[in-house]
């Protein structure tokens, strides 16, 4: 086995999820991630914890089930719920035989599935969970890279000094955490204002996402005003949505458009009420991710990007006891901030053309 796979498993088990003896660990991974799954089961075994391997979230088996299922009969099954309730650690490994497998599922069924599956997702979010990527050939193809090149890209972004990264990101947390208003401007197409007053900014140091490398918070749900064009295509359940545009009034999407697969975007926004509001504002800060790969787990961490998610807010960002924006979906979309762009926090520019205030070359 490639020693980088064993190292990947160690970062997942020892850094991201800190597996301890006796932990009930679920390894949710598709066949395309077989080698990493083997390494994870091995490392979990060495830690005297208990791995249970289940199919991945976007596995072809789930596509086969959903293609055949009656959308009206979907429900949160007791056995998956019981498993999620009893799990201490949940390791999601993303990898594909074919990134378009889920595209065969009617979007209505997909939407019904996401809704019905919410209670299970909530239980998984209550575990110590992590989402990571195994560099399978289909994912390399999706990134428009050869498999060896993509392997190098993925493992470089994962096997890094997470302490140093955390310190770098802390500088942005110190700006955003006490802030009230954020404004994001890019060219003529994006000018969005939102409040983060009272919200907590999280320093993502590769606990829930591996690779990590962003800071993120939750917008106050009804505070979002303005327009945004997402420069990078959004891949949702195997469909590529290009040039997605959203216009917000009082926090709600009142207009939307896309140049390709607009109906997929419409379906996402119609999932439930919370799907028309923002649940996340994130700022990418991982300089080791140096190119777009059409994979949100990586793209949103890039240093000269901002991402916004419609749907569910992360509980960790919310004031104690507040529920924040609720939804069965959480769909991230990216704004490229590398040119003709800036982020303003409480009236001060904190990033211009991708360079942060605390970095060399910043021009206020």
Shortest CB 89 distance to its own copies, Å? 10
Is residue 113 a contact partner of residue 58, using CB atoms and an 8 Å limit?
A: no
DSSP string, 12-63: IIIIIS---TT-EEEEE--GGGHHHHHHHHHHHHHTT-EEEEE--TT-HHHH
Q: Does 44 bind its own copies (CB under 8 A)?
A: yes
**Other beta carbons less than 10 A from residue 181's beta carbon:** 15
Q: According to CB under 8 A, which one of 4, 6, 15, 54 is a site residue for its own copies?
A: 54
Q: According to CB under 8 A, which one of 65, 292, 294, 358 is a site residue for its own copies?
A: 65
Q: According to CB under 8 A, which one of 4, 6, 15, 53 is a site residue for its own copies?
A: 53
> Which is nearer to its own copies, 219 or 238 (by Cβ)?
238
Q: Which listed range, 62-70, 148-156, 230-238, 287-295, lies at the site for its own copies (CB under 8 A)?
A: 62-70
Q: Does 61 bind its own copies (CB under 8 A)?
A: yes
Question: Which residue carries 């597996």 as its tokens?
Answer: 19
DSSP string, 265-306: HHHHHTS-GGGGBEEEEEEE--TT--S--S-HHHHTTSTTEE
DSSP H or E stretch at residue 90: strand 89-94
Q: Which listed range, 37-45, 143-151, 179-187, 278-286, lies at the site for its own copies (CB under 8 A)?
A: 37-45
Q: What are the Cα distances from residue 245, in Å, to 124, 166, 308, 335, 356?
A: 31, 32, 12, 11, 26
Q: Rg of the Cα trace of the chain?
A: 20
**Would you call 130 helix, strand, or coil by DSSP?**
strand
Q: Does 268 bind its own copies (CB under 8 A)?
A: no
Q: According to CB under 8 A, which one of 2, 18, 20, 22 is a site residue for its own copies?
A: 22
Q: Which listed range, 33-41, 180-188, 199-207, 327-335, lies at the site for its own copies (CB under 8 A)?
A: 33-41
* Cα gap 337→323, rounded to integer Å: 30
> Which is nearer to its own copies, 43 or 99 (by Cβ)?
43
Site size toward its own copies (CB under 8 A) is 48
Q: Does 3 bind its own copies (CB under 8 A)?
A: no
* Cα gap 109→111, rounded to integer Å: 5
Q: Does 287 bind its own copies (CB under 8 A)?
A: no
Q: What are the Cα distances from residue 270, in Å, to 60, 265, 281, 327?
A: 25, 9, 21, 11
Q: According to CB under 8 A, which one of 5, 11, 13, 41 is a site residue for its own copies?
A: 41
Shortest CB 53 distance to its own copies, Å? 4
Q: Which listed range, 70-78, 224-232, 237-245, 251-259, lies at the site for its own copies (CB under 8 A)?
A: 70-78
- DSSP type of residue 358: T
- Within 169-228, the residues that bind its own copies by CB under 8 A are none
- Within 73-112, the residues that bind its own copies by CB under 8 A are 73, 75, 77-83, 85-88
Q: Does 125 bind its own copies (CB under 8 A)?
A: no
Any residues with CB less than 8 A from the CB of 164 and at least 6 apart, and which?
A: none
Name the residues that contact its own copies, by CB under 8 A.
21-22, 24-27, 31, 34, 37-39, 41-46, 48, 50-55, 59-62, 64-70, 73, 75, 77-83, 85-88
């Amino acid at each position: 086995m490639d020693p980088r796979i064993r190292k990947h498993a160690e970062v997942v088990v020892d850094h991201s999820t800190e597996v301890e003896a006796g932990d009930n660990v679920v390894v949710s991974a598709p066949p395309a991630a077989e080698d990493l799954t083997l390494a994870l089961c091995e490392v979990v075994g060495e830690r005297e914890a208990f791995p249970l391997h289940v199919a991945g979230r976007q596995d072809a088996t789930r596509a086969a089930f959903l293609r055949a299922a009656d959308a009206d009969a979907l429900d949160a099954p007791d056995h998956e719920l019981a498993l999620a309730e009893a799990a201490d650690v949940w390791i999601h490994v993303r990898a594909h035989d074919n990134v378009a497998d889920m595209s065969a599922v009617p979007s209505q069924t997909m939407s019904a599935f996401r809704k019905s599956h919410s209670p299970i997702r909530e239980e998984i979010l209550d575990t110590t969970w992590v989402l990571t990527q195994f560099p399978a050939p289909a994912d390399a193809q999706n990134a428009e890279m050869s498999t060896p090149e993509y392997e190098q890209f993925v493992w470089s972004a994962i096997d890094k000094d997470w302490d140093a990264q955390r310190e770098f990101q802390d500088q942005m947390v110190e700006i955003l955490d006490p802030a009230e208003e954020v404004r994001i401007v890019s060219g003529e197409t994006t000018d969005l204002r939102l409040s983060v007053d009272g919200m907590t900014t999280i320093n993502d140091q590769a606990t829930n996402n591996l690779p990590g490398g962003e800071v993120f918070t939750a917008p106050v749900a009804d505070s979002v005003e303005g327009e945004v064009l997402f420069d990078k295509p959004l891949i949702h359940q195997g469909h590529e949505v290009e040039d997605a545009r959203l216009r917000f009034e009082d926090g709600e999407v009142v207009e939307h458009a896309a140049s390709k697969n607009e109906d997929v975007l419409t379906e996402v926004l119609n999932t439930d009420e919370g799907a028309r509001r923002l649940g996340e504002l994130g700022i990418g800060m991982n300089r080791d991710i140096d190119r777009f790969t059409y994979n949100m787990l990586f793209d949103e961490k890039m240093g000269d990007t901002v991402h916004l998610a419609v749907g569910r807010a992360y509980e960790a960002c919310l004031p104690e006891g507040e529920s924040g924006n609720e939804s069965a979906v959480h769909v991230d979309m990216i704004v490229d901030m590398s040119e003709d762009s800036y982020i303003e926090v409480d009236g001060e520019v904190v990033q211009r053309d991708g360079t942060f205030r605390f970095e060399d070359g910043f021009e206020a």
